[in-house]
């Protein structure tokens, strides 16, 4: 256990919520993890960008990023795996039968779902950034492309996720506690429900 607390550099409304859930006192695994940590909050700059101060922490200036003594770790999946490996090894149990699901659903949200969600957000933001005269036309074009390309893709992801959860009937790896897959997927599900609730019809209905 490090003497100094882990610093979570938390940009508002960002993927660093994954790290906060993993470390938070209401996390089902806290008893085991017990990592002292502090949260350093950052506000978004113009165009939802991270502020300069985050570039001082890591060269890519993205959130989340953590510092643990001399070690700086960026990329939410890497941070979740680092914290579990360093502080939760042998404690956050992954059932043998769910080992591959855990690996898969730890990497799938950033590798496959978030890029589509970011695309949807960009399509929404682009019209607001063009001259007012052509804005209605650009809005109509991007809305059409979104409906044709992005939404069907998100619906496919939604069906895939819901059918997996119907099999495990709980956490993504099928065990009694959340694992790295859940810490990664929860934020992505939240964003999906916010940006494309129709893609997660069953989950949205049960909320």
Ligand X SMILES: N[C@@H](CCC(=O)N[C@@H](CS)C(=O)NCC(=O)O)C(=O)O
By CB under 6 A, name the binding residues for ligand X: 11, 14-15, 49-50, 62-64, 75-76, 110
Between 81 and 101, CB nearer to ligand X: 81
Nearer to ligand X, 29 or 76 (CB): 76
Q: How far is CA 132 from the centre of its chain?
A: 33
Q: Minimum Å distance from CB 45 to ligand X?
A: 8
Task: Tell me which residue of 69, 68, 66 sits closest to 58, measured CA to CA.
Answer: 66
In angstroms and rounded to an integer, the radius of gyration of the C-alpha atoms of the chain is 19
Which is nearer to ligand X, 11 or 33 (by Cβ)? 11
Closest separation between CB of residue 188 and ligand X, Å?
Answer: 10
- Rounded to a whole number of angstroms, the minimum distance from the CB of residue 4 to ligand X is 22
Nearer to ligand X, 50 or 113 (CB): 50
**Among 76, 85, 83, 37, residue whose Cα is nearest residue 58:** 76
Q: Which residues of 102-139 are buried (b: 16+ CB within 10 A; e: fewer)?
A: bbebbebbbeebbebbebbeebeeebeeeeeeeeeebb
CB of 176 to ligand X, least distance (A): 26
- Minimum Å gap between C-beta 112 and ligand X is 12
């Amino acid at each position: 256990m490090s003497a100094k607390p882990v610093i979570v550099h938390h940009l508002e409304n960002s993927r660093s919520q994954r790290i906060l859930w993993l470390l938070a006192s209401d996390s089902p695994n806290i008893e085991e993890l017990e990592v002292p940590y502090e949260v350093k909050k950052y506000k978004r700059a113009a165009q939802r960008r991270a502020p300069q101060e985050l570039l001082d922490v890591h060269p890519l200036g993205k959130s989340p990023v953590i510092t643990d003594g001399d070690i700086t770790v960026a990329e939410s999946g890497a941070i979740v795996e680092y914290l579990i490996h360093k502080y939760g090894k042998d404690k956050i149990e992954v059932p043998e039968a769910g080992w591959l699901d855990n690996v898969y659903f730890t990497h799938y949200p950033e590798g496959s779902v978030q890029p589509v969600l970011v695309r949807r957000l960009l399509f929404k933001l682009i019209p607001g950034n063009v001259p007012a005269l052509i804005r209605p036309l650009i809005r109509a074009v991007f809305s059409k492309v979104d409906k044709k390309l992005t939404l069907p893709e998100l619906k496919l992801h939604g069906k895939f996720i819901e059918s997996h959860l119907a099999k495990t009937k709980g956490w993504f790896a099928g065990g009694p506690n959340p694992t790295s897959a859940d810490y990664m997927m929860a934020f992505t599900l939240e964003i999906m429900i916010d940006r494309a609730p129709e893609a997660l019809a069953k989950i949205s209905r049960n909320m």
